[in-house]
Homo-oligomer: A and B are copies of this chain.
Amino acid sequence: MKRVIVEKKILIANEEFAAKNRDLLAGLKIPCLNVISSPGSGKTTLLARTIRELKGKIRIGVIEGDIQTDIDAQRIKAAGAPAIQINTEGACHLTAVQVSQAIEKLPIKDLDLVFVENVGNLVCPSAFDLGETAKVAVLSVPEGDDKPSKYPTIFARAKALLINKIDLLSGVDFNMEKAKADVLKLNKDIKIFPVSAKTGEGLQNWYDWLVETTKI
**Which residues in A have some Cβ–Cβ distance to B below 8 Å?**
1, 4, 7-8, 38-40, 66-69, 71, 90, 92, 119-124, 140, 142-144, 146-147, 149-153, 165, 167-168, 171-172
Give CA–CA (A66, B151) in the complex, Å. Answer: 8
A38, A40, A140 interface centre (most CB from chain B within 10 Å): A40
B142 touches A165 (CB 8 A): yes
Q: Which residue of B lies closest to A8 (CB)?
A: B4
Q: Which residue of B lies closest to A72 (CB)?
A: B150
In the complex, the count of this chain's copies comes to 2
Q: Which residue of B lies closest to A7 (CB)?
A: B4
Nearest chain B CB to A170's CB is how many angstroms away? 9
Take A92-B92, A142-B142 as given contacts and tell me if A69 and B149 are in contact as well, using a CB distance cutoff of 8 Å: yes
Contacts of A147 in B (CB 8 A): 39-40
Give CA–CA (A146, B68) in the complex, Å. Answer: 11
Contacts of A143 in B (CB 8 A): 38-40
Known pairs A38-B39, A38-B143, A121-B123; list 19 more (Cβ under 8 Å). A4-B4, A4-B7, A38-B120, A40-B143, A40-B144, A66-B150, A67-B153, A68-B149, A68-B152, A69-B146, A69-B150, A71-B146, A71-B149, A120-B150, A120-B151, A124-B124, A140-B142, A167-B171, A168-B168
Contacts of A39 in B (CB 8 A): 38, 122, 143, 147, 150-151
Give CA–CA (A149, B66) in the complex, Å. Answer: 10
Give CA–CA (A168, B149) in the complex, Å. Answer: 25
Other-chain residue from B66, B71, B119, B168 in contact with A172 (beta carbon distance below 8 A) = B168
Contacts of A152 in B (CB 8 A): 67-68
Contacts of A151 in B (CB 8 A): 39, 67-68, 120
Nearest chain B CB to A175's CB is how many angstroms away? 14
Give CA–CA (A165, B141) in the complex, Å. Answer: 13
